[in-house]
Amino acid sequence: MSNSADAGVVDAVVVGAGFAGLYALHKLRSQGLVVRVFEAAPEVGGTWYFNRYPGARCDVESVDYSYSFSDELEQEWTWTEKYATQGEILRYINWVADKLDLRPGITFDTRVVSATLDEKTLRWTVVTDAGETVTARFVIMATGPLSAALTPAFPGLDTFAGEVYHTAHWPHEPVDFSSKRVAVIGTGSSGIQSIPLIAEQAEQLYVFQRTPNYSVPAGNRTLTESDVAEVKSNYAERRAMSWRSGGGSPHVAHPKLTMEATAEERRAAFERRWELGGVLFSKTFSDQMIDPVANDEARRFYEEKVRAVIDDPEVADLLIPNDHPIGTKRICTDTNYFQTFNRPNVRLISVRRTPIESIDATGITTSDAHYDIDALVLATGFDAMTGALAKIDIVGRGGQGLREDWAEGPRTYLGLGVDGFPNLFLVSGPGAPAVLANMVLHAEAHVNWIADAITHLDSHGHTALEATAESVDNWIAECNRRAEATLFPRANSWYMGANVPGKPRVFMLFIGGFGVYLDICAEVAAAGYKGFQILDAS
């Protein structure tokens, strides 16, 4: 049988051709499996294909947010900036896809609509929106934790006569906001990255903020030849540190706890992290996300820095969060975000004070005003972690749907397997560190684990692996126990499902650290896939 994008009976179906899906194709194919990948977009790239809004960059350093499995890839590709733009990351992904000849295994412009288990054969029947049916022994969901964009149900949104853009579905042709009155709704990472650039173009920009967010300057810069040479000569060491770290990047917290350090040491440590830039500020000290006193030290340093760059103290009051500890929502990574509010053409509107009531043909009406606009940008986020999976009818044992199974919150073992769904594997699913870690390394780790599990099954003549209900229950309890020991549950974050009306409030991630998590996964495998049943088709 050919290992191409037209086989109807395959070993594995992979859903998604982002970082995770592409690596899954490469890895499983190199183990001799026949693999089909389905991708909704016309091209590879996943999140980096869709999120092409102005200012879109990754908040993990480029040299770390790249595949580690091939020395050749590491040595041949040269990143140009500390934090890569969406465009550069997409070029990298395309380059890898070409180099590894991945495209022939991918069916583009095609969504998987259902995956149904045959309990007797333990094979899956996968159906696409093109009407194609494929059967596979393994289904690998590389659908991404942040791929189901969320558009709030603002009354009248569909009557707006101007242009509407969602940051996660940005057009491919350039959008010109010059001479336009523009509104941005949402001040998460996507809003905070795009607002400064839209402000430079627009005649007038209205920023509608519901919850202020913590954002630390990226400190982005061009990488010099010597920067690149140093990374390339030490890549193995850099990766080794990343694999052992809390978040998949080669940075370690200060050796002391926050309040064990002297005031000078503390300040110097915060300064160093501020210079490093972005999201890593939440890991300056190891107790920062556990101890409220430690967290408040970081928050006060943060507030001082941010107030210093905002001209109007009342605007600063609105922009500085006061409802959640710093880092309990992902810290945003910006370039000139707060300075943007010093511009005469930018106005901040607090949706908490004056809620959006409706949208009409001409603009946005809040409880106290109407704003005439020509263009509307929705930077309103995602139905994270579960949204993309919920769009697919995944039907396991006894006709049980995954959506129904997860009605009270996602249930997984290790974020990899689900009871009742043998040989269905999630990549970076709920219950894994996922978005708390470097997603490229995380995807590699998951795919490697899945590939090893397949080898184990094959070498022992077995058909399938299925998490037991008990191991799922225990893993959820473990994730909850670890989350409750931290400050994370104090925020109404998308980690908790809090941004989607009606979504169950559960902390959806494993918070014990990337290195610790990888050890647990390795122990499970070494113990003969402890917590999984090993099954044979009847």
Interface residue with ligand N01, options 137, 254, 330, 503 (CB under 6 A): 330
- Long-range contacts made by residues 159-162, C-beta under 8 angstroms, separation at least 24? 159/359, 159/360, 159/361, 160/359, 160/360, 160/361, 160/363, 160/376, 161/361, 161/362, 162/363, 162/373, 162/374, 162/375, 162/376
310 binds ligand N01 per the rule CB under 6 A: no
377 binds ligand N01 per the rule CB under 6 A: no
146 binds ligand N01 per the rule CB under 6 A: yes
CB 47 to ligand N01: min, Å:
8
Residue located via tokens 């009248």: 156
Select the span of 237-245, 376-384, 468-476, 524-532 touching ligand N01 (CB under 6 A): 376-384
Per-residue CA distances from 508 to 167, 405, 408 (Å): 24, 15, 12
Pairwise CA distance, residues 287 & 264, whole Å: 18
CB 311 to ligand N01: min, Å:
23
- Which residue's CB is nearer to ligand N01, number 188 or number 409? 188
Pairwise CA distance, residues 274 & 244, whole Å: 23
CB 306 to ligand N01: min, Å:
16
Q: What contacts 404, CB < 8 A, 6 or more positions away?
A: none
Closest by alpha carbon to 41, among 144, 121, 116?
A: 144
CB 331 to ligand N01: min, Å:
9
Q: What contacts 245, CB < 8 A, 6 or more positions away?
A: 251, 252, 513, 514, 515
189 binds ligand N01 per the rule CB under 6 A: yes
Tally of residues, the chain:
538
Residue located via tokens 């939440």: 282
Helix (H) or strand (E) holding 36: strand 35-38
The interface with ligand N01 within residues 190-219 (CB under 6 A) comprises 190-191, 193, 210-211
SS3 290: coil
Select the span of 53-61, 115-123, 422-430, 528-536 touching ligand N01 (CB under 6 A): 53-61
Interface residue with ligand N01, options 289, 416, 435, 509 (CB under 6 A): 435
59 binds ligand N01 per the rule CB under 6 A: yes
Residue nearest to ligand N01 (CB): 188
494 binds ligand N01 per the rule CB under 6 A: yes
Q: What contacts 353, CB < 8 A, 6 or more positions away?
A: none
CB 368 to ligand N01: min, Å:
16
Task: Read off φ and ψ for residue 308, nearest 5 degrees.
Answer: -65, -20
Interface residue with ligand N01, options 62, 66, 328, 499 (CB under 6 A): 499
Interface residue with ligand N01, options 114, 125, 152, 350 (CB under 6 A): 152
- Which residue's CB is nearer to ligand N01, number 58 or number 506? 58
Select the span of 186-194, 197-205, 251-259, 457-465 touching ligand N01 (CB under 6 A): 186-194
185 binds ligand N01 per the rule CB under 6 A: yes
380 binds ligand N01 per the rule CB under 6 A: yes
Beta-bridge mates of residue 417 = 413
Select the span of 123-131, 188-196, 236-244, 335-343 touching ligand N01 (CB under 6 A): 188-196
Count of residues near ligand N01 by CB under 6 A: 27
335 binds ligand N01 per the rule CB under 6 A: no
One DSSP character per residue, 82-148 reads SS-BHHHHHHHHHHHHHHTT-GGGEE-S--EEEEEEETTTTEEEEEETTS-EEEEEEEEE---TT-S
Residues forming the site for ligand N01 (CB under 6 A): 57-59, 146, 152, 167, 185-191, 193, 210-211, 330, 333, 351, 356, 379-382, 435, 494, 499
